[in-house]
A and B are shown apart, each in its own frame.
Chain A
Amino acid sequence: MIGNYFKTTLRSLLKNRAYSFLNIAGLATGIACASLIFLWVQDELTFNHNFEKRDNLYTIYENQTYEGKMSTFHATPGPMAKAIKAEIPEIKNIARTGGTNNLLFSLGEKTINEEGSYADPEIFSMLKMPFVHGDITNAFTELHSVVINATMARKFFGDSDPVGKTLKINNEQDYTVTGVFTDLPKNSTFKFQWLAPLANIDHKMPWMMEWSANWTLTYVELVSSANVNGVNKKLQHYLASKNNGTKTECFLFGMNDWNLHDNFVNGKMDGGRIEYVRLFSIIAFIILIIACINFMNLSTARSEKRAKEVGVRKVMGAGKGKLIAQFIGEAIVMSFIAVFIAIGFMYIILPSFNNLVQKELSINISEPLHLTYLVSIGVVTGLLAGSYPAFYLSSFNPIAVLKSMKLPTGAGFIREGLVVIQFSISIILIVGTIIIYQQIQHVKNRDLGYNKNDLIYVSTQGKLSAHFESIYQQLKQSGVVEDASLSDFPVLQIWKNTDNYSWEGKQPAQNPLISFENVSSQFVRTMGMKLASGRDFYPNSSLDSNSVIINEALAKQMGKQGHVGAIIRNVGNKSYEIAGIVKDFLYNDMYAVSAPLVLYNNPTGTDVLSIHIKRNVNLQDALVKIGAIVKANNPGYPFEYKFMDDDFDQIFKTEALTGKLAGVFASLAILISCLGLFGLAAYTAERRIKEIGIRKVLGASVAGLTGLLSKDFLKLVGISCLIAFPVAWWALNNWLQNYQYRITINWMVFAAAGILAMLIALATVSFQAVKAALSNPVNSLRNE
């Protein structure tokens, strides 16, 4: 019997090629699209799954209180690890890292910058690092040892075993390679290419071992029987005893949450990427449902053609159950054909999709999870799409359909309802795309308070900072540079901060977190910032040893003392005179208002050289000239620069991705909906062919008939608008609440989305309508 069904299905597919194409293409597009999203979701959900001990691994986070609100940070005091390991028995292992460092490695003539971390040796066993060469237990017995990943090993040593060979770091110190580990997967939190013992920098910077300075990241492995809440209780007020009664609280943040739940509001976990994972999963299901609706619509619309078959089969003794089985079977056959085509689509689209989402996703049909998914999506889609048509078709009364071809009424209403659902979703997605785009543009076009364009920066390796004066003179003479300056950080991110500033009249309860940064005297000019009052730094930094520039936000905090000439004291109670007040500019959080800031004219030890290139020069030439100057003054180091506006765009990565995906999904939803609409219009035109013939004989014009046939569909799109607008408004208004700096939703967006949907629907339907209206009435009336 199944063979018989299969044959009927395939023959009926081949016989109605256009219909089959619309049906399967729609379904395949939906399945491919949903599957790509699910691939992305799988990747996000399996983040860090390469680490076997992930259920017992944590980082220590700190909740610090400023102005009555808790902010969450992941840097901890250097001595903390050793102390809590001794005091808390549930801690099995503990390791610190010193954040990410970009260091210059050299072997003979070969010099490459590589990112990595200084770390405690326990990190190897905690992460169960897979070593291809070397010994995991003795990797860090020597101070100057380094462990590198396979890619880095290949760059320097080819395929030979590098253990025992040396690499020079920063042209200063030779490090012996003691191990090579396989590259960590892309979906893991740790990105390091190399690891070296943390002791190398511990002793260089003694302040890092103070309880009051937060600097290292502390990773904890608990014994598997440990009660996390119990450990958290011990940690909560731990720092108070070490750091004279600080209110800062510590807690464990589990590895399984690192990727998806890393957003904290007032000290509590509050979403994170998981929200996007949920959003995209929902969108994937919606697209799948749209595709299924299409299938249902086209199948029921075609049911008049199949009514006879149903009648005949019933007369020949087929029960309702067997007919339902047949139609669902057909739907499943079609959905499996669609699945195969979808797999093909996915192979084609995957590279560009990977490019879009910045991942390395791959389909692997031999992987049980993917295979199970593909089979179940085939079955589920078949059931979902086939159920309604199956019940509808099998309910036909054989006499009625064989005699008069009369069909039960009601299906038309359901079909229209399904079209309304499809278009509602499409319109919501269109509105979403436009508003997300508008919001991103709104923030991007915001006045930052400085000029991020034509701005590059390099990290000051080697002698770059020390030779700044001569570099600066040569850059100015080159004619391609507007200005250049040194600073601790690239201007978009300033990560040094404290609440230990004081001034006359500061209230005890007033403890805003204030950022501070060391810069060279050209900083304000280089960035294109504006002074609100006072003066810029003197070129000779020693003249400014007692002066600072603050921003307007801090001036406001300081109240009456927030003026040029006022005094502000830092943690050591050293007094500084406010020499100038710079207009607020944005850093760290592009959606918020500017946070309070202090700038010191103190270029020694700064890490970043920013160069503002002249507007009207050729960028490539300028970069060549700048590169030559920088390299000449800092031999042995490559000239590696970053554009500030690239960094700026990076900040909106997630939003931009959401916007792009929403756009892609909106187009797909529309495309699939239109396939359905096209089929439905064809069906309507066919069913009304006699009516059209009669109207034509009676003198109706082609335009009039086209209008007549299109009108009903446009009414459906109109109803969809009425449903979609409030839903879209509600959803996007909610989304916008996440951002302090945001657009207000304009009704024009809705009008535009509505009109767009109307036009697309009209274009789809009118093709069929015109075709029907142009047909010769003699042909359509003859067969009666």
Chain B
Amino acid sequence: MLSLQHISKYYQVSGLKNFVLNDLSLEIDQGEFVSIMGPSGSGKSSLLNIIGMLDEPSEGYHYFAGHAVHQLKEKQRSALYKQYIGFVFQAYHLIDELTVYENIETPLIYQDFKGAERKAMVADILDRFNIVGKKDLFPAQLSGGQQQLVGIARALIAKPKLLLADEPTGNLNSKQGEEIMELFRKLNKEDGVTIIQVTHSEKNAEYGSRIINLLDGKIESSKQL
């Protein structure tokens, strides 16, 4: 599904290149559930942002679903991104002024879905996630676990092929974390969504089908489970 070849990301600091990612290559197939681990500053989030097209590598080739991303223009990249990718954050990043329902609906608005269609899709996912009763509440009225559930529902609403999660359980207690991980596994197994998550927790990493360890911007090890 996606292929990174010789990807580097660096910042120039007084003439010296400060590498975040250093000549990294990686292939990920459709249907995989990959966990990226590594100490702070090893480049986990940068890698995820590049995969998610929120950031551009300084060097290297990036292929996604048959497109050479490094050659695409901003607009085309954004179209590709909208079609294929959903994002889940550690801090949920829900819009405080919108209700649960409206938060989930927002990506559909940006992808120009018609009103009736949006209604059906949001109703469907609220149902699937068992949060129909919460649809008119605002984020501040929900617990952390519930907020993250909304965050995931929002990431999945447009039926992405690839779900990117940056420490999705980082702000949750272990029970809530487990529930989220179970949900990820189910999405991966039953719906065939490809998932890439960044995590600090060994236990959560093991929900995936492959664990990649990063160190100093390079892949230190890759382990198939």
Contacts and interface: CB of A to CB of B under 8 A. Distances in A.
Contacts of A318: 110
A4 interface: yes
A308 B54 contact: no
Given A398-B54, A399-B55, A317 B97 contact: no
Contact of A4 (B45, B89, B96, B106): B106
Contacts of B106: 4, 313, 316
Interface string B80-104: 0110000101010111111000100
Contacts of A411: none
Contacts of A403: 45
B45 A7 contact: no
A698 interface: no
Contacts of B95: 8, 309, 312-313
A316 B155 CA distance: 8
Interface string A106-136: 0000000000000000000000000000000
Interface string A14-27: 01000000000000
Nearest to A314: B54
B187 to A, nearest CB: 18
B93 A12 contact: no
Nearest to B111: A317
Interface string B22-54: 000000000000000000000001000100001
A80 B158 CA distance: 88
B78 interface: yes
B192 interface: no
B97 A399 contact: no
A561 to B, nearest CB: 90
B109 A4 contact: yes
A12 B93 CA distance: 16
Contacts of A399: 49, 54-55
Given A4-B102, A8-B95, A317 B107 contact: yes
A316 B54 contact: no
Interface in B105-120: 105-107, 109-111
The listed residue with most B CB atoms (<10 A of its CB), out of A312, A398, A399, is: A312
Interface string A308-324: 11011101111100100
A83 interface: no
A1 B115 CA distance: 9
A316 B102 contact: no
B154 interface: yes
Contacts of B102: 4, 7
A402 B93 contact: yes
For chain A, what secondary structure do more than half of its interface residues adopt (helix, strand, loop), or is it mixed?
A: helix
Contact of B78 (A1, A12, A308, A319): A319
Contacts of B110: 313, 316-319, 322
Contacts of A322: 110
Contacts of A315: 54, 87, 93
Nearest to A398: B54
Interface in A296-336: 308-309, 311-313, 315-319, 322
Nearest to B164: A315
Nearest to B97: A11
Contact of B93 (A4, A7, A11, A311): A311
A402 B107 contact: no
A317 B78 contact: yes
A15 B109 contact: no
A679 B111 CA distance: 36
Nearest to A12: B97
Contacts of B55: 399
B89 A317 contact: no
B97 A308 contact: no
Contacts of A308: 93
Contacts of A398: 54
Contact of B98 (A8, A311, A319): A8
A8 B54 contact: no
A15 to B, nearest CB: 7
A402 B52 CA distance: 14
Contacts of B78: 317, 319
Interface string B116-135: 00000000000000000000
Contacts of B98: 4, 7-8, 11
A590 to B, nearest CB: 62
Nearest to A402: B93
Nearest to B54: A399
Contacts of A11: 97-98
A15 B96 CA distance: 10
A308 B106 CA distance: 15
Nearest to B155: A316
B61 to A, nearest CB: 21
16 contacts: A1-B109, A4-B102, A4-B105, A4-B106, A7-B97, A11-B97, A15-B96, A309-B96, A312-B95, A313-B106, A315-B87, A315-B93, A316-B107, A317-B107, A398-B54, A399-B54
Interface of B: 45, 49, 54-55, 75, 78, 81-82, 87, 89, 91, 93-98, 102, 105-107, 109-111, 154
Given A315-B93, A317-B111, 6 more contacts: A4-B102, A4-B106, A313-B95, A316-B107, A319-B78, A399-B55
Top 5 closest A-B pairs, CB basis?
A317-B110, A317-B82, A11-B97, A316-B107, A312-B93
